[in-house]
Amino acid sequence: MKEITFFDWKVSLQDDLIAVTDFQTKKMVIMEGALDLHGVIWIDEHNELQIKPSWDCVISINSKEKILTIRHVDKVLRTEE
């Protein structure tokens, strides 16, 4: 897992995921490889974190510590077996 910062949130991503942040619009896209879009994260007008995943994933939110963890569902299930 790698950890990046998205404003005042920490985002933990699987090593094979890539995050690109647009600080002006407060949006981050998450991709795997060059063109495979997996989701968008943004801060809305009420300063709330919004998430729009577009693939089968597990998103864990620790609101107290402001940590967001994103993993492929198949990798999560494989480690739980």
How many domains are contained in the chain? 1
Question: Which range of residues forms the domain containing residue 51?
Answer: 2-80
Ramachandran category for residue 26: left, alpha or beta (phi over 0 → left; psi -120 to 50 → alpha): left
Kindly report the CA angle at 6 between 16 and 71, in degrees rounded to 5?
35
pLDDT digits (tens, 9 = 90+) for 54-68: 888 888 999 899 999
Segment 9-64, tens digit of pLDDT: 999 998 888 899 999 999 999 988 766 778 889 999 999 999 988 888 888 999 89
